[in-house]
């Protein structure tokens, strides 16, 4: 790493505890990691060891009980458009079309309708879903 560059993601002293009934479960205990831009990282471990919890903290869906996560030097305090997460479970909105699901994020960023449609079209083509993503007149994207 050149001295002028900062790490892309820094996980510093992250712990996460959950209240379960009358007790407490420690899902993460003082996790430290530095991830450089362009690095390919895998989290590997037994079921229940905290992999998904750590990813939810980095994505901003969970707050750590202690410690901090920085992305590009800025604290993660909520989900953001600079990060994404692929969920283990079904994470589409079943009442929306393919294009509407793809366009959900850009719509939340309040991009113009035409730009949302263009983004949805681009990603439909990228993953080869043209046949499944037939445009539904004005409801699409």
Instruction: Check residue 122 and give its pLDDT.
Output: 93
Helix (H) or strand (E) holding 54: helix 51-59
Q: How far, in Å, are 1, 3, 5, 84, 114 from residue 60 at the CA level?
A: 26, 28, 23, 10, 29
Instruction: Check residue 4 and give its pLDDT.
Output: 59
Homologous superfamily in CATH for domain 9-75 = P-loop containing nucleotide triphosphate hydrolases (3.40.50.300)
**Is this model's pTM higher than 0.85 or not?**
no
Evaluate if residue 139 carries a pLDDT over 70: no
Model confidence over 49-94: pLDDT tens digits? Answer: 999 999 999 999 999 999 999 999 999 999 887 887 777 776 777 7
Look up residue 107 and give its two tokens. 């719509």
Q: In whole angstroms, what is the distance from residue 43 CA to residue 27 CA?
A: 15
Domain spans of the chain? 9-75, 98-139
Q: In whole angstroms, what is the distance from residue 82 CA to residue 79 CA?
A: 8
Tokens 């379960």, residue? 20
């Amino acid at each position: 790493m050149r001295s002028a560059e900062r790490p892309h993601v820094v996980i510093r002293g992250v712990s996460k505890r959950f209240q379960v009934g009358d007790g407490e479960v420690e899902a993460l205990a003082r996790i430290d990691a530095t991830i450089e831009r362009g690095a390919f990282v895998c989290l590997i471990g037994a079921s229940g060891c905290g992999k998904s919890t750590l990813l939810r903290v980095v994505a901003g869906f969970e707050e750590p009980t202690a410690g901090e996560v920085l992305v590009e030097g800025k604290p993660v305090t909520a989900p953001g458009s600079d990060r994404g997460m692929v969920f283990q479970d079904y994470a589409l909105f079943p009442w929306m079309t393919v294009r509407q699901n793809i366009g959900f994020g850009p719509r939340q960023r309040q991009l113009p309708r035409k730009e949302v449609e263009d983004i949805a079209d681009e990603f439909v083509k990228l993953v080869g879903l043209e046949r499944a993503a037939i445009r539904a007149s004005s409801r699409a994207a």
